[in-house]
Amino acid sequence: MAHEAQSRSPSFDVWRALKNATLAALVAFGLFSLLIGLRTEQGPTGALILIPRAWELFWLVAAAFVGVFLRELLFGRQRETLAHFIPAPVRTAVARIAPYFRYALLGFALAVPVIFYNDRYLLDLSIQILTYVMLGWGLNIVVGLAGLLDLGYVAFYAVGAYSYALLAQNFGLSFWICLPLAGILAAFWGILLGFPVLRLRGDYLAIVTLAFGEIIRLVLINWQSLTGGPNGISGIARPSFFGLPFTADDNGFAATFGFEFSPNHRVVFLYYLILILALITNAVTIRLRRLPIGRAWEALREDEIACRSLGINTTNTKLTAFAIGAMFGGFAGSFFATRQGFISPESFTFGESALVLAIVVLGGMGSQIGVAVAAAVMLGGFELFREFEQYRMLVFGFAMVAIMIWRPRGLVATRLPSVFLKERKLVSAAMVSEGRG
Amino acid sequence: MEVFVQQLVNGVTLGSIYGLIAIGYTMVYGIIGMINFAHGDVFMVSAFIALIAFLALVALGVTAVPLALFLVLLIAMALTSLYGWAVERVAYRPLRRSFRLAPLISAIGMSIVLQNFVQIAQGARVKPLPPLIGGGYTLIESDTFAVRLSNVQILVVLTTVALMALFSWIIARTRLGRDMRACEQDLKMASLVGVDVDRTIALTFVIGAALAAVAGIMNLLYYGVIDFYIGFVAGVKAFTAAVLGGIGSLPGAMLGGLLIGLIETFWSAYFTIEYKDVAAFSILVIVLIFLPTGILGRPEIEKV
């Protein structure tokens, strides 16, 4: 190390930087010359014509050159880390307030409907964020705790949504009966799908769950007599306040409690409903982590072979993680169905699974607060940059790669050990050996 | 009977395309033990490169089909290889020593990036290309049904066979092939005996991408339409082919590709076309459960 530090001369190597930057520019030119430089459009005759876009190509190549040059200038041979981008005082300040952050966040979450009572748009956005927080927490059990990469999580979300929609439409069951049923059905599907495949290695498991997610979506599209096919199911019953509907009638919620009727009552109710569901997910996860099963999950994530030699039944351990994760996905799904009043296979594509996975990855696999923050940042960011909507998937694809390279434990990368001797110490991400099972 | 032969012809053509993509999966898995999730999207990118290159050649006045095809093949293979190399360099190489799920998550990120990059750069619409190679032969003719073998199908199958031969030769006889086989057995040991591991892995990605490029061109010629989403389904099917044939095994990838192609076409012909993807995905699941080593694969030994 010492030798390396000496050989890195204080004045940086201009020629090396120029060489690398030129190479990067050449590669960028090769990559983008056809795909960016020429755009295919449907011409007047219907055949494709090419429209040249020289400037876009030039700017991208220039950006690659300048980017690599700057990187060489700032970091040289040294590998850059996230710490370079955030000054030390900021980091210590963050570390100091971090323990109180969760309470502040919870308080804020509880107060949102009071503060923004009249802002329907913001309330809807908050509900959406909380839905993803809940999905993220559910998937976190599978990916973050048990270390199983599930690329088909949206399948359980779909099972929950369709369970509620079909039960409510065909049997007239209320939301409160359907909610646990949807959760149980999703968990059942989790076991059914998980049982045969959980013996597989991590990568295979990922692909198989992806295949399952697609199979479920394709069945939803093609089984028209049951699911309505691509048209989906509409007119799903809205939730009631434990039997009192949110209508302007005499026996509605507003009249019974003597309020003036407002359509916002339902939105506020939905907000608290998803908040409570999400908090239940969180509480269950935190409790489970301390139970033997939760410890087994984390042990499994770190080293599967060691687990087996310690006598942990890995199949059952994985299966419980899969089933519990699926159950929360099912709850979130039936909430989604009752909130939207309309569901179709469009809502359950692979992109959705990838989004939830990205939330978990960005938040730091295994970190509850990180997932919540990541969901808020991501969906909030989507809304803020609405006009750049087409770029959002591109950005979050890059974010997934960047996080894996620079911050593999996620943005909130400190973790409290679940089990400890004498004293509970905060372990920084740098000290945590990555699970390499 | 005629229908059966026709489906056989179609299935072998489709299977050749899947087989070429599957080689990319199986080689990368053999060497670094990861699923290159972005490989299907590299295939998609290659189809777009081929389409644009072809239109550009026509605009430049190259209208002789054989010459244009040859040039398109060269351009697409070169540029797609660059994509394969860049993906490895940016998203996988820094993660070589990271934890188990990291490269896979990074690969998923890369797949999303490629898909959306093409969607933004070229639009989400389906891109049609008029058929370049017409004609063909009628093999069997009966009153109700004629079995057709088109020139495109002959081209696809012949190219695949030629590439497979070339590729097997590279693996078995050249220095690069020997390095690749050494890396497959043991990365650390290979580096100790003087194999440039980084270079070998990069070249593996380059070769895989080049083969995917050929598959992309043939897909474009065969179907005549492409869009930014074709990589996802083709990728999963090619991966299924690689698993079915035995991951890590090159003849296995080709065999698996053929089987998947045949199953898909026969399923579409005799059962329901809506569920053809379900059939392919189900095969993946069933194979992984009952035959995890595939047809020609070796059992994997777990090392601590």
- pLDDT, average across residues A311-323: 89
User: Between these two residues, A137 and B274, which has the higher pLDDT value?
Assistant: A137
DSSP A216-274: HHHHHHH-HHHH-GGG-EE-PPPP-BTTB-SSSSTTSHHHHTTPPP-THHHHHHHHHHH
Contacts of A394 (CB under 8 A, 6+ apart): B112, B113, B116, B117, B120
Question: The pTM is what?
Answer: 0.85
What are B142-185's pLDDT values in tens digits?
Answer: 777 778 888 888 888 999 999 988 988 988 899 999 998 888 88
Model confidence pLDDT, tens digit, residues A379-409: 888 888 777 777 888 888 888 888 888 877 6
Q: Looking at the domain A103-431, which fold is it?
A: ABC transporter involved in vitamin B12 uptake, BtuC (1.10.3470)
Give me A142's structure tokens: 């599978």
Instruction: Give the pair of three-digit tokens for residue B92.
Output: 């996988």
**Nearest-angstrom CA–CA distance, A81 and A345:** 41
- Rounded to an integer, what distance in angstroms lies between the CA atom of residue A367 and that of residue A409? 9
Picking from A27, A35, A214, the nearest residue to B281 by CB comes out as A214
**Considering only CA atoms, which of A91, A382, A72, A126 is closest in space to residue A272?**
A126
Contact B109 A200 (CB under 8 A): no
B76, B46 contact by CB (below 8 A): yes
Q: Please say if the pLDDT value at position B43 is more than 90.
A: yes
* Residue of B48, B88, B112 to mutate, testing the A interface (most A Cβ within 10 Å of its Cβ): B112
pLDDT of residue A2: 43
pLDDT given at position A86: 65
A44 has a pLDDT exceeding 80? no
Mean pLDDT of chain A: 81
Across chain B, where does the E strand assignment appear?
A: 127-128, 136-141, 146-150, 225-226
Give the ipTM of the model, two decimals please: 0.85
* pLDDT(A248) > 50: yes
pLDDT digits (tens, 9 = 90+) for B89-141: 989 988 887 777 788 889 989 999 999 999 888 888 888 887 777 777 777 77
Give the right CATH number for B2-290 from 1.10.3470, 3.40.50, 1.25.40, 3.30.420. 1.10.3470
Contact A401 B100 (CB under 8 A): no
> A428: helix, coil or strand?
strand
Give Cβ neighbours of residue A411 (< 8 Å, ≥ 6 apart): A362, A363, A364, A370, A373, A374, A403
Token pair listed for B118: 């093409």
- Residue spans of the domains in chain B: they are 2-290
- Residue B15's pLDDT band (boundaries 50, 70, 90)? very high
Q: Which of A102-106, A213-217, B79-83, B200-204 has the lowest average pLDDT?
A: A102-106
Q: Are A337 and A165 in contact (CB under 8 A)?
A: yes
Q: Among A231-240, B218-227, B295-304, which range has the highest average pLDDT?
A: B218-227
What pLDDT is stored for residue B50 in this prediction?
A: 92
Which tokens sit at B136? 């063909």
- Which whole number is the average pLDDT over B10-29? 90
Question: Domain boundaries in chain A?
Answer: 2-79, 103-431
- Contact call for residues A221 and A344 (beta carbons, < 8 A): no
**pLDDT over threshold 50, residue A7:** no
- CA dist B235 and B108 (Å) reads 12
Backbone angles phi, psi at A346, to 5 degrees: -55, -35
Chain A nearest CA to B20, separation (Å): 19
Q: What is the pLDDT of residue A416?
A: 55
Of B35, B106, B120, the CB nearest to A400: B106
Provide the mean pLDDT of chain B: 87
pLDDT at A11 over 70: no
A120 CB neighbour count, 10 Å cutoff: 12
- In sequence order, the 6+-apart residues with CB closer than 8 A to the CB of A369 are A101, A102, A105, A363, A412
**Quick check: A203 and B104 CB within 8 A?**
yes
Distances (CA, A) of B163 to A166, A427, B31, B72, B170: 52, 53, 20, 16, 10
Rounded to an integer, the average pLDDT of B20-40 is 88
The letter for the amino acid at B245 is: G
**Burial environment of residue B239 by CB neighbours within 10 A (0 to 12, 13 to 18, 19 or more):** buried
> Is B90's Cβ below 8 Å from some Cβ in A?
yes
Alpha-carbon dihedral angle through residues A101, A103, A109, A115, given to the nearest 10 degrees: -90
- What percent of chain A lies above the pLDDT cut of 70? 84
User: A83 falls in which pLDDT band (50, 70, 90)?
Assistant: low
The CB-side HSE value for A373 (13 A sphere, CA atoms) comes to 19
pLDDT beyond 50 at A437: no
- What percent of chain B is predicted at pLDDT more than 70? 98
Is B122 within 8 Å of A218 when comparing Cβ atoms? no
